[in-house]
Structure 1
Amino acid sequence: MIRGMSDTAEEERKLRYERRKAAYRSARRVLARSSVLSTLRERLARLENAHELYDLDETADLYGNGVVEALEDKVAGLLGTQAAAFFPTGTMAQQVALRCWAGRTGDPRVALHPLAHLEVHERHAFTQVSGLRPVRLNSAPRQPTAAEIRDLDEPFGTLLLELPLRDAGFVLPSWEELDELVAAARERDAVVHFDGARLWETTVHFGRPLKEIAALADSVYVSFYKSLDGFGGAALAGPTTLVDEAKAWRHRYGGQVFQQFPTALSALAGLERELPRLPGYVRHARVVAAALREGFAAAGVPWARVHPEQPHTNEFQVWLPYDADAVAEAAVRQAEETGTLLFARPWDAPGPGLAVTEIDVRAAGLEWTPEDVKAAVAEFVARVRRGADG
């Protein structure tokens, strides 16, 4: 009986996932148009004006030269580092970075938050594949403090800071706090590595340009698809000696790919077209967040949490006091019935009667006024309540 109920619930979730995809594709209004559900034709259209980004009469890249090297130079220039290396994945880039630093410091221990991407989303690759060892900082869903780094009861060779810390709500320290975190690591003779998959989004919160942010770290990893909507890929930026060694390890890890020009061109497109827009997305995310809070209050929801209250990037969390399946169904029905998809991402259940999702504000979201957001919230809550009433 229990097994049958569980199977039925799983089938309902799979069906809702397919409905959500279809609703997303057909919705007239969303807060972000993600490339995740785009067709091949739509993705390839991203390269229609590639001739504006790079000389297409040059020969295609071979094992990391040509357009890939041009992309590496572009990233190094944006981050103000001596060099950068292109990697097919961020998982590989960060493993290589941490492995190189472990060899240089003589210490395989990496101090990091237990909610860091390396700990939660990579099947512990950096320990299982690269032989590194985590030293976990605080267990709270927030960035660590300088005091916590100074008070760690064992040494470590590298401090890894995820900026922003996605699973805690895309949260960032203040600029002063970040400076203190780095100083605390230096006091312990450790190097500092930034997991900057979304570092591109942080300039508004820090009030500093990318070069000044990256300058605090010894090495920085950035993604080309999370913020910039590229086809994939990542870069590791830092001193020339580190990057040269990283390229040797890239080959050993299987990252010396024969040709990567479509991904490299899409990354150049993201740096040219999407990067300048990110500050505007961050600022409008704060408008959307405030309207969400007001909308849920006006709808009489017992409590609703937007976290952070003022988003640090263009992504943030929304917490509601409802069953996760119920709000997921209401979100899909709203899109199917009205053409407005307010909550495009999945809902998780952190506890009984709790639901949490992520909000992403991009170009499509700039069209939403606060009144639009509040009206969508009212329609959404009405559907949640109708569902609860059966």
Structure 2
Amino acid sequence: MAALQSVVMPKLGLTMTEGVLAEWKVAPGDAVSSGDVIFVVETDKISNEIEAPVNGIVARLHAAEGDVLPVGAVVLSLRTDGKPAEAAAEATPVALPIPARIVATPLARRMAARAGLDLATVAGSGPRGRIMAEDVAARGGSGAPAAPSLPAAPSPPVAPSPPVAPSPVHDTVHELGPYQRVAARRLAEAKRDIPHFYVFADADITDLLALREQLNGEQGRVRLTVNSFVAAALARTLRGYPSMNRVWADERLRELATIDVGMAVEGPKGLVAPVVRDLGDATLDEVAAAAEAVIARARAGRLAPQDLEGGAISVSNVGMFGATGLVPIINPGQSSILGVGAAQPTFRADAEGRPVLRQVLHLALSCDHRVIDGALAARFLQAVCRQLETSATLLRRPRKES
């Protein structure tokens, strides 16, 4: 009998439980060498090219593009005896679906069936040529069955025509891509399964903004953003609050060995939160440089799976859009996330009680109540505010603990 080797859906990260088979790179009967890319997997975080583990002939594809498969599910079978003939025919049948010749959404298939329209004659406008509902509608497939023809009857007397009703306005239905479906489900699970609570505080960053302007005026230095200061303040504060550097894992609390901070950024396929690592002893410039490198990879779509793993906390900043605040959802696998808005001019009393115009940053800390209690969260957030309000201390390394 032919020697078959199964290739399964890989586990590409600690929190990954399933992935989307986004694209096939091979077909049954193709010869592949070890290291050749055979398919692409999308998770809610990243796309990954999966390579053939051995030399062989593709015997069977066990899933279609767009299928969501659990980790460990068989994706492809390879013949490893090097005989291309009858490779596809001799493969052992499996229970998983065979890829369809025509890729179409369920709604598009129903509309085509009702209209008696052959999907093979419809050009798809969706990802990788997927046929969408609007593609069928454009070919006259409204989804309503055609009325049967009746014999002609004598014409009745002509009556006045009633007012013509306006044509109904139809909503536009947008199909989700595989990445969007998985991300939406993961966020829904996070909001449902993680017991969120929220703590709010305001930080006076008037001095921080002046310091930032001064430092950014120096040539040849890394550019500092408000996010640079926030990430550095979080990392510095976590040194004194190890209980905040914990996550919920396998019904236990895991305290992380390093201080890492996730940075939410808009990538080519949506929002991701790559992790900037080992910031416990970093200066402000070092935090900014590390964050800049990770964010650049995210925006270019070049993140690796390990870039999205680890860390107990992330930052999500909407200040650049003019929004004054945000209450974010915790990223699965972490225990908190800090929402940051735009600085707002606010009058505050000085030491003599006189009103002084200051720049105030609104912060919202979302916490996992299984890991963090309200008192700890409140103390931690106030400590972060103190770090931001005395931002010059972030220019030096933290003092070594005796």
TM range (shorter): under 0.3
Structure 1 or 2: more strand by fraction: 2
TM-score by length of 2: 0.21
- Larger RCO of the pair (alpha carbons < 8 Å, separation 6+): 1
